[in-house]
Amino acid sequence: MYQPKYPLKYSDLVGPYESITSLKETVKQNIMTILNVSPGEWPGNPELGVGIRRFLFENYPSDDLLAIHERIRQQFEKYLPFVQVTSEFVDKDAYGNNLIDSNEVKLVIKYNIIPISEQDLIILNVGETPHMDVG
């Protein structure tokens, strides 16, 4: 369960790098890895990854962009079968303004870690490189 916490920082307490010690943080980091990695990029496992960066210049709603939901579902089924996931695009802000007018679309990924009954979500701007600041 112990894996380095990103971004990497030296830790006098646990060794060379700070570590993630909770299951919830570990799963969130694994989800971010699956989202960030493009298919063919991970050594020894070319099927791994959604490759969210590939959608940087996709028009909303294109068939390729909408297919991302199925890719996310498939990746979770294969690599994180103990996590239930839903994903959706948000094209309006909290005030009802159209985000598409400002060339924005958000991808909301909601997930439930079944064994520990923990729920969380990740909100990404499509085209932005996903990153995680767990703190």
Examine residue 133 and state whether it is found in any structural domain, yes or no.
no
Q: Is 8 helix (H, G, I), strand (E, B) or coil?
A: coil
Examine residue 130 and state whether it is found in any structural domain, yes or no.
no
Mean pLDDT of all residues in 10-35: 87
Let me know: does 52 contact 127? Beta carbons within 8 Å: no
- Percent of the chain whose pLDDT exceeds 90: 41
Which of 43, 23, 40 is closest to 31 using CA atoms? 23
* Residue-range definition of the domain harbouring residue 38: 3-125
Tens of pLDDT, residues 50-100: 988 777 666 667 777 778 889 999 999 999 999 999 998 888 888 888 877
Mean pLDDT of all residues in 103-131: 82
pTM of the predicted protein model: 0.79
Examine residue 135 and state whether it is found in any structural domain, yes or no.
no
Q: Report the amino acid identity of residue 75.
A: Q
Provide the number of structural domains found in the chain.
1
The pLDDT of residue 122 is above 60: yes
Domain of 67, CATH number, reads 3.10.450.40
Sheet containing 106-113: give its strands across.
83-90, 106-113, 118-125
Of 119 and 10, more confident: 119
